[in-house]
Structure 1
Amino acid sequence: MRKFNAWIIAIITVGTIFYLSSIPGLRVLPVLRQLNTVIMRFDVYFVQIAEFISQRLPMDVNELSPIQAASNDFYMYAKANPVIIEFLLRKIAHVVVFFFLTIVIFFLLNQYTKKSVSAALLAFFMAFTFAALDEYRQSFVDGRVSSLIDVGINLIGITMATGLIFFAIIITKKTSKKENALDK
């Protein structure tokens, strides 16, 4: 059953990436507007969580002045050039999607291999290959371009996921060694 679920999640993830990269001239902001209507339904919960967190943060407001200056400058620039927001959202989406894809591929491959490290390395190379092929495929879609920079940005998400996987492998091995020592 675990293998079946891993396959289903992997197929849905790859299918979603394929679908989104096939949309001619895809823009992020209209999609976010649609998501915003859904998120607004959860707004009460977000406000409660934000208030809960803000009440527990010990912070001197004067420490924020450099951050406020930079954020005000960015806000003014983004207001004059809204394309920058679209650009940043697209690049963040690349990182997040390929981070998730790498994790999904790892869990799928880990069902079939005895060594998690092998599954992690193979997941890295498979996700990278998919990123490169998907960017190449986009060169055939109207209103889309193929970009090595996007492959590099995808690689950031892939590398972050692989690093997280290796970190988890190291932590679980140390924990299992301690448990085995305690059992003896």
Structure 2
Amino acid sequence: MKKLNGWVFAIIILGGIFYLSSIPGLRVLPILKQLNTILLRFDVYFIRIAELIAEHLPVNMNELNPIRTVSYDFYAYARANPVILEFLLRKIAHVFVFFSLTIALFFLINQYTKKNYTALLLSFVSATAMAALDEFRQSFTDGRVSSLIDVGIDFIGISLATLLIIFSILITKKTEKQKPPA
């Protein structure tokens, strides 16, 4: 059953990548507008949760003035130039999706190899190859372009996932060594 779950997650992520990169001229902002209309229905709940969190934060609100200034300036710029939001959201999505793909591939491959570093290396190489192949495939879709920069951004997500997995492996080994023998 575990092996099936690993395959399901990997296939869902790969299918999502394939589907989204096959949409000609895909734009993020119209999708976000649709999501926003759905989320506005839950606005009361979000406000209440934010108020509960704010009650428990020991922060002097005056300390946030520099952050507020930068964020207001960015919002003003983004309103005048929505293309920057489109660009940032696309690149964040690249990082997130390939981060998730690398972790899913690691769990899938690790079930078959049982060697953490072998699974890590194979998931790293596989995710990097998939990033390059996906960008190449996009060159055949109308309104889309293939970009080595996007492969580099995908590689950031792959690298972050790899570092997280290495950190997890090291922490797990350290705690296993500290356990007293039963």
When normalised by structure 2's length, the TM-score is: 0.94
1:126 aligns to 2:126 (yes or no) = yes
C-alpha distance in 2 between matches for 1:40 and 1:111: 42
Q: Give the equivalent residue in structure 2 for 1:153.
A: 153
C-alpha distance in 2 between matches for 1:39 and 1:109: 37
Matching residue's letter, 2:53: I
Paired residues for 1:37-56 under 5 Å: 37-56=37-56
C-alpha distance in 1 between matches for 2:107 and 2:36: 31
Q: Give the equivalent residue in structure 2 for 1:170.
A: 170
C-alpha distance in 2 between matches for 1:41 and 1:5: 33
Q: Where in structure 1 are there 5+ consecutive unaligned residues?
A: none
Matching residue's letter, 2:175: T
C-alpha distance in 2 between matches for 1:34 and 1:78: 19
C-alpha distance in 2 between matches for 1:41 and 1:111: 42
3-state secondary structure, aligned to 1:112: helix
C-alpha distance in 2 between matches for 1:42 and 1:183: 51
Q: Give the equivalent residue in structure 1 for 2:63.
A: 63
Post-superposition offset of 1:12 = 1.2
Deviations 1:155-174 (A, max 9, x none): 11111111111111111111
C-alpha distance in 1 between matches for 2:25 and 2:98: 20
Q: Give the equivalent residue in structure 2 for 1:73.
A: 73
Post-superposition offset of 1:36 = 2.5
Q: Give aligned pairs, total.
A: 182
Matching residue's letter, 2:32: L
Post-superposition offset of 1:38 = 3.5
Deviations 1:93-149 (A, max 9, x none): 111111101111011001001211111121111101100110111011000011111
Aligned-residue Cα RMSD (Å) equals 1.3
Deviations 1:11-33 (A, max 9, x none): 11101100000000000111122
3-state secondary structure, aligned to 1:106: helix
C-alpha distance in 2 between matches for 1:17 and 1:42: 28
Post-superposition offset of 1:41 = 4.1
Matching residue's letter, 1:8: V
C-alpha distance in 2 between matches for 1:45 and 1:172: 38
Q: Where in structure 2 are there 5+ consecutive unaligned residues?
A: none
3-state secondary structure, aligned to 1:111: helix
3-state secondary structure, aligned to 1:119: helix
Moved more, 61-70 or 126-135: 61-70
Q: Give the equivalent residue in structure 1 for 2:181.
A: 183
Moved more, 134-143 or 60-69: 60-69
Post-superposition offset of 1:46 = 2.4
Post-superposition offset of 1:61 = 2.2
Cα 1:42–1:119 change in 2 (3 A) is farther
C-alpha distance in 1 between matches for 2:76 and 2:38: 28
C-alpha distance in 1 between matches for 2:42 and 2:8: 28
Matching residue's letter, 1:152: G
